[in-house]
Amino acid sequence: MIAIVKAAFNSHITDLLEASCTDYLQEQAYPFETFECPGAVEAVVYANKLLQNNKYTSIIVIGAIIKGDTDHYDYVCQYVTNGISQLSANYTTPIVFGILTTQNEELAYERAAIDRMNKGKEFAETALFMINAFNKL
């Protein structure tokens, strides 16, 4: 079973990513559970807790960090990137980095819209690829 952790912050983007991710998993008949947390920073903590359960074959972390007028963007991006990297190094469960980090809302929407890049679907494809690859080891 795959766990999807979705940040609620910038939900107009993360909801689209989640929808295309879960649509693809349903098409593939792969079971999943979704969880929501306040933002991308909290998604790292949530993923860590789920990894400790040892219940999931993969964790997909979905979020959208959009640059604003302050340095907060840089700190959040750094924290989330380092946090997920650390989790990936400490656990053998594949973690998919489904966090958009964009310079503006238009670029985030371009990557989240189902009729465009459809990154949510890519997150699901990556999770299934990694699960299959790990099963072969």
What is the C-alpha to C-alpha distance for residues 4 and 13, in angstroms, rounded to an integer?
Answer: 15
Count of beta carbons in the 10 Å neighbourhood of residue 50: 22
Helix segments in the chain, DSSP class H: 11-27, 40-53, 72-90, 105-112, 119-136
- Structure token digits, residue 90: 């400490």
Annotated active-site residue in 49, 55, 72, 116 = 72
Active site residue 72: yes
Rg (CA), the chain: 14
DSSP 57: S
What is the C-alpha to C-alpha distance for residues 88 and 126, in angstroms, rounded to an integer?
Answer: 14
> Which of 130, 61, 128 is CA-nearest to residue 101?
61
Catalytic residues: 72
